[in-house]
Structure 1
Amino acid sequence: MLFFGLRLTLVQFIGSTHETRVFYTQLLPLTTVLTISIPETVRLLNKAEALYQSDIRSLDDLVHLAKALHSLGPGFVFLRGGHLPLTRNLEVPKYDIDKEVIVDVLYDGTDVSLIKTAYINTEISQGVGYVFSSAIASQLALGEPVPLATRKACQYVETGISKGNGLINYFHSTCILPFSRGHFIEYVLNREDVKPIWEAHVHHDFVKRIGDGTLPIEKFKDYLVQDYLFLVQFARAKALSAYKSNSMEAIAAGAEEILHIQREMSLHLDYCAEFGLSRKDIEEQEEHQACTAYTRYVLDIAHSESWFGLQMAFAPCLLGYGIIARRLWDDPGTVREQGNRYWKWIQNYVADDYRAAVAAGEAILEKHAVLQSSSQIDSLVKIFVHATKMETGFWNMGNE
């Protein structure tokens, strides 16, 4: 495996016809990952084909640039976007104040991955490329696949710059936490002990059949009943979360979450009525074992674990519905509108109010994760894993 971090000095070094031919025909095709900046890419492509201009004006231009460079032979091209900060909407800003996002492009010849990090106004002009190269190489040496290694490197560099006071802080995460600040959720979902369980949950056959509209109506009605009964217990757990809080701000936030659940239950009842289910019908139903197991597990965590441990028990529900609904919404294979009686369910969980609730919940997780000790992280992840299994049990009800 050859990992190659290209620098301008090397591009300038290529002078003779023989050197140039060896570089393009022998070295680049052996390269596993080529990490390179925008100016370096333009210079390299100009030497190769004399076709490219330095005036890069859009994110599409960056992607085109990465694809052109990949045609020279490397396995992956990692094009760093630091020379083209973008707005929140991934457009080229008119004013410096609108610069908010850096987008790096990873291309393997088939898939384009856009890695977004926060734009940090800094005077650092040298050494960033070397740090990227070293960080990616270190992750590859640990056995990470290239896409994940590259993403982790971006997070590492972003945090290093933000904490460097004009320099790169190389030791911001050393012996502290196994994730970079602001990337706790991503770290959890990509852990080897989490990823297969999480993937099984968010890609469960039950939700796939919601997407294509083939789920039997009685199965969905049973789910609606159990989901209502679940929300009753969930509200109790949220009340305990407020009780375990130590500030009025957190207590008030917990109370607001309970009111949000109350409003959600009202909407839930309206939705149930469309399937012929009244409130009386629902409340007379017995809890399914999966509902009891899940909700009582969460309530047990509320009594026996820390406040943040309880937030980790809530997390699979909060994150999962948002991820599932967003994927179904974006999937061209999802049956839409009048062709799918469950389309409104998908709409509910991509609506602005739910997305705002997810964003608020994610912010809480990220804020408090960095306050935990490294020894606590594994215990917290175990809570998340078990709660995810309980959440998946809800989908399994539809297969019984």
Structure 2
Amino acid sequence: MSKPVVLTIAGSDPSGGAGIQARDLKTFAAHRCYGASVITALTAQNTTGVQGVHPCPPEFVVQQLDSVFEDLDVRVIKTGMLHSSDITSVVVETLSKHYERIPAIICDPVCVSTSGHTLLDEDGLLVLKTSLIPLSLLITPNKSEAELLLSSVQGEGTKIHDLESMFTGAVRLLDLNPQAVLLKGGHVTVHMKDVIAVQEKFEAEGINLTVVKQNLLGENMEILSAFSDDLSDLELAVDVLVEKADNRRAMFVRPRIDSSSTHGTGCTLSSAIASELANGSHSLTKAVEKATMYTYLAIQSAVPIGEGHGPLNHLHNIRHSLIPHRMPKHLYPFTHMLINSCATSWKEYVEHDFVRQLGQGTLDRARFIHFIKQDYIYLKYYARAYGLLSAKSTSWGAIQSSTQTILNILHEIENHKASCLNFHITEGELDRTPEAAATTAYGAFILDIGLQGDANKLTMALMACLLGYGEVGLWLVKESRLPGTWVVQQDNPYWYWAQEYSGEMYQSAVKIGLETIELMAQADPPNKARLKEWIGVWEKCTRLEKGFWDMAMELKY
């Protein structure tokens, strides 16, 4: 099976950080595309800046283009530094000569280097606007390039200073007649409140907006928020996409990375988008989503090279891992993946009617008593499973962790007994309680997983209970602090339960659980089949947890 061919038309970089030899061809290779290149100019540059530019004769650029188009089936074209009006013109003319229907063009309007070196003259900018951009599927300007293009369109200076002005500028750039504009926000500081404000504004105006959050926590992830940076103060990097078709708009939101390894970031992004489209992505939004994440990880995983702004790690995805790597601002990527993998059943579990009525203090007393009696029985299964996990463990640390969890369960049992006495339920009555089918189903499942699988698979079966109850406790407490909250604390006979699972002791156990599965996934990364098995066990346990609440609400045995 042949690889899709992607062509870059751009300049060189002898330092290997940007240019066609590094930024573009490495990115194409990382995306399993075949990269072809036409050089428009030779540069003298390094990580500290551009020292000189030597343009190719326009007729030689044409000769290169002819050689490529006459032999290769080019699927997508990416343009970068074109240097002059003559070169830009011959690129457009040669494309029109070879194609009735020109392949998708991703135009990165490279005009000025970060060090201030002019990379496209004024006449070249005019040809770019009037001839190449109208042929382009997508243009990908940064803040400075967008402001330059806008000033030439509107005849006056236009400043982009926040998220709203990014969208305004991107929409105005559609007047240059590309099919879409991706305005890169690496030089615009944004916070989550700005994202929310734009969401609310567009919603009020009836504008179709897609918000893609990358390495950010979503709904029903209070346990992850509790041990992560405060999102409200987190500096974000946001790219905005506007498309002519159906007036679609999207923004790609992720934590800002404090890194000096940013040489060629914007060019890498446009090359990654071209690669995603060449590989068959039919949605521009999806292609941009994948490309922005690739670029983000390329910055995150880069090692310092040179005295200035060093290159990205373009080949970070060659060592393919199904589990995202841990990062300072994304500490629990595997747990994040697990929750997202079954977001519906997880939500049905942690926001169950049983939980809501418990938070309101309106839960029928008989249902709560039925629950704590069955939970008392279930915890015996749970403790036995941790004993089995200890037996399967091969390190003192793992044995200690399993043993400590059993001790925590014994503490939880004592709390159960104490709370049961408040409801006039004796320990003898607890021990005589018939076991419900839902209790047997859940308990037998985790023990069966322990018998048939290894320690990692059993760990997956045990985590939904530990993490889910921690999530419920934190969610109820968070909801109780909101203005006009539906949660009732005063005179709520069940509020102690929320306090128990949101309390320091239980949340410490949650943190240990989070660290356990993250370290497990990083130390022994699963293959595709094994990961599917892990996720299947996790998802089954979230459904069994929901079934446990259902059993309590229906008073079933």
TM-score, normalised on structure 1? 0.74
Partner of 1:374: 528
Q: How does 1:218-237 map to 2 (within 5 A)?
A: 218-237=366-385
Q: How does 1:172-321 map to 2 (within 5 A)?
A: 172-174=316-318, 176-182=320-326, 183-191=333-341, 194-321=342-469
Deviation at 1:395, TM superposition (A): 0.6
Contact 1:78 1:107 (8 Å CA) reproduced: no
- Tell me how many residue pairs correspond in the alignment: 364
Secondary structure of the equivalent of 1:27?
A: helix
Partner of 1:97: none
1:161 to 2:161 alignment: no
Partner of 2:131: none
Query: For the residues of structure 2 that align with 1:358 and 1:366, how far apart are their CA atoms?
Result: 12
Classify 1:288/1:373 alpha carbon distance in 2 versus 1 (closer, same or farther; 3 Å).
same
Deviation at 1:27, TM superposition (A): 2.0
Counterpart of 2:542 (choices 364, 385, 388) is 388
**Structure 2 counterpart of 1:6, which letter?**
P
Counterpart of 1:27 (choices 174, 177, 196) is 174
Larger deviation: 24-33 or 168-177? 24-33
Partner of 2:516: 364
Deviation at 1:204, TM superposition (A): 2.1
Contact 1:269 1:278 (8 Å CA) reproduced: yes
| CA displacement 1:60-104 (0-9 Å, x = unmatched) | 786599689979x89468899xxxxxx945698xxxxxxxx6544
Deviation at 1:296, TM superposition (A): 1.2
**Structure 1 counterpart of 2:340, which letter?**
N
Contact 1:328 1:334 (8 Å CA) reproduced: no
Deviation at 1:23, TM superposition (A): 6.1
Query: For the residues of structure 1 that align with 2:552 and 2:324, how far apart are their CA atoms?
Result: 38
Query: For the residues of structure 2 that align with 1:144 and 1:395, how far apart are their CA atoms?
Result: 40
Contact 1:78 1:106 (8 Å CA) reproduced: no
Contact 1:66 1:105 (8 Å CA) reproduced: no
Contact 1:318 1:361 (8 Å CA) reproduced: yes
TM-score, normalised on structure 2? 0.55
1:6 to 2:141 alignment: yes
Deviation at 1:238, TM superposition (A): 0.4
1:346 to 2:498 alignment: yes
Deviation at 1:10, TM superposition (A): 3.1
Contact 1:32 1:76 (8 Å CA) reproduced: no
| CA displacement 1:97-131 (0-9 Å, x = unmatched) | xxxx65446899xx9997447x5x53213333455
Alpha-carbon RMSD across the aligned residues, in angstroms, is 4.3
Classify 1:321/1:249 alpha carbon distance in 2 versus 1 (closer, same or farther; 3 Å).
same
Identical-residue share of aligned pairs (%): 26
Partner of 1:336: 488
Partner of 2:551: 397
Deviation at 1:369, TM superposition (A): 1.6
Unaligned runs of 5+ residues in structure 2 are 1-136, 159-168, 215-227, 242-249, 305-310, 327-332
Secondary structure of the equivalent of 2:184?
A: strand
**Structure 1 counterpart of 2:298, which letter?**
G
Contact 1:34 1:77 (8 Å CA) reproduced: no
Secondary structure of the equivalent of 1:338?
A: coil
Classify 1:143/1:380 alpha carbon distance in 2 versus 1 (closer, same or farther; 3 Å).
farther
Classify 1:374/1:329 alpha carbon distance in 2 versus 1 (closer, same or farther; 3 Å).
same
Larger deviation: 10-19 or 380-389? 10-19
Classify 1:126/1:265 alpha carbon distance in 2 versus 1 (closer, same or farther; 3 Å).
same
